[in-house]
Amino acid sequence: MSWVTLEVKTTRRAQLVDITERLAEAVTGSGVDDGVCHVYVPHTTAGVTINEGADPDVARDIEARLEHLVPKEADYEHAEGNSDSHIKTALVGPSCAAPVRGGKLALGTWQAIFLCEWDGPRTRRVEVGVSAL
Ligand code: ZN
C-alpha cells in the first residue's frame, strides 16, 4: 500500500466538500480488489466524515448546526481565535475508513465522504491509502 495525497481547496470558513469521486479514483488506481480505503486529514481545524451526499442540504445543515452549537465567539482560552474550528474538528474526527469491494469504493447508497473545513478558505491535504484484505 502506498499513500496518495489529495489537495482540496475550500472556499468558505465552514464547508463540507464532497471528495467521494476523488477517493474513488484513488481506489481504482490502487488496483486493490477487496480491501479498505483509509482517509486521513492531517489538520487540526479540518476533518473528515461520511454522511449523506444525495441531498446537498444535509451537508449545509451540518455546517449550519455545528456553527450554531459551537459559535466562533465564546469564552475560549486559545489565543489564535479559532477554538470553534478545533472543537468542530474534534467532533467529526480526522479519519474514516470505507470498504473496497470489486475494485470499487463500496459506500452505502446515500453515503458520500466529506472533507469538513472549519477554518477556511484554505488548501487542505487528504491522505488516502488503500490496503488489501
Ligand atoms: Zn488554533
CB 14 within 8 A of CB 78: no
> pTM higher than 0.85, yes or no?
yes
Neighbours of 18 (CB within 10 A): 15
How many angstroms separate the alpha carbon of residue 57 from the centre of ligand 1? Answer: 28
How many angstroms separate the alpha carbon of residue 15 from the centre of ligand 1? Answer: 17
The pLDDT, as a whole number, for residue 71 is: 97
Domain count, the chain: 1
Each residue's pLDDT expressed in tens, for the chain with a length of 133 residues: 789 999 999 999 999 999 999 999 999 999 999 999 999 999 999 999 999 999 999 999 999 999 999 999 999 999 999 999 999 999 999 999 999 999 999 999 999 999 999 999 999 999 999 999 9
CB 99 within 8 A of CB 23: no
**Would you put residue 19 in left (φ > 0), alpha (ψ -120 to 50) or beta?**
alpha
Angle (CA) 23-61-116 rounded to 5° is 35
How many angstroms separate the alpha carbon of residue 1 from the centre of ligand 1? Answer: 33
What is d(CA 1, CA 55) in angstroms, rounded to the nearest whole number?
33
Its domain, for residue 57, covers 2-132
What is d(CA 53, CA 50) in angstroms, rounded to the nearest whole number?
9
CATH number of the domain residue 33 falls in: 2.60.120.460
How many angstroms separate the alpha carbon of residue 83 from the centre of ligand 1? Answer: 6
Strand order in the sheet with 95-101: 3-9, 123-132, 35-40, 95-101, 104-105
The pLDDT, as a whole number, for residue 1 is: 72
